[in-house]
Amino acid sequence: MRKLVISLFLVCCFFGVLAVSAFAEEAQFLPTRYGIALLNGGAYDQDHIGMVIVQGHLLADYKRFFAHRSPDKLRLKIEANLGLTTEGQHRTIFSLNALALKYFETWKVASLVPYVEAGIGAIYTDFKVDGQGSRKNFNPQLGCGFQYQLENDTAMTLGLRLHHISNGNLLKENRGVNSAFLMIGYMF
């Protein structure tokens, strides 16, 4: 429990630093936005593990953090996820991720804008499947969806997310867990 409290404190500090940088935005960067989301789904390979995850995220201009060439209006999505397994004993899931997110505004229909996202993070699961090797793993992800623009610069999002959990062959045992999620969110 102590490690969880320390981890949550560090996450809050991390988001606090990012929030302070958002207040010092310059005109050349896209505005920083924040959001929350609920993910529901689970593993679809050999072990069928249901999961529900609550996510908090920050969406910033990619160029604010990385100086290399990148597509116009690319976003950096920093997210913290906290979840539970939904089958049998409730086990916890905690992850920190960084994803590149691209909106396709030229494909916009009414207030609906499609997007794709991809990235990687670190994940801790309070469970291990046979042959997994560790509870601390990498978490590459890929997703797509739509954002529906609301009034006052707020928006709803609906998407699909695929993610993989494995230790990247850092340990001898490295059985991965592949999952799919439906994600609904609110941006402000």
pLDDT along the chain (188 residues), means of 10: 54 53 60 97 86 97 90 94 89 96 92 97 88 87 97 95 88 85 97
What was the pLDDT predicted at 14?
59
Task: DSSP for 64-103, please give it.
Answer: GT--S---TT-EEEEEEEEEEE-SSS--EEEEEEEEEEEE
Half-sphere exposure of 73 (CA within 13 A, CB side): 7
And the tokens for 11? 């996450």
The pLDDT value recorded for residue 87 is 81
If one counts every other C-beta atom within 10 angstroms of the C-beta of residue 76, the result is 21
pLDDT at 45: 79
Contact 186, 35 (CB under 8 A): yes
Q: Which residues contact 102 (CB under 8 A, 6 or more apart)?
A: 71, 73, 74, 75, 115, 116, 117
Domains of the chain: 2-187 (2.40.160.20)
pLDDT at 22: 47
pLDDT at 99: 98
3-state secondary structure of 133: coil
Which pLDDT score, from 0 to 100, does residue 4 have?
53
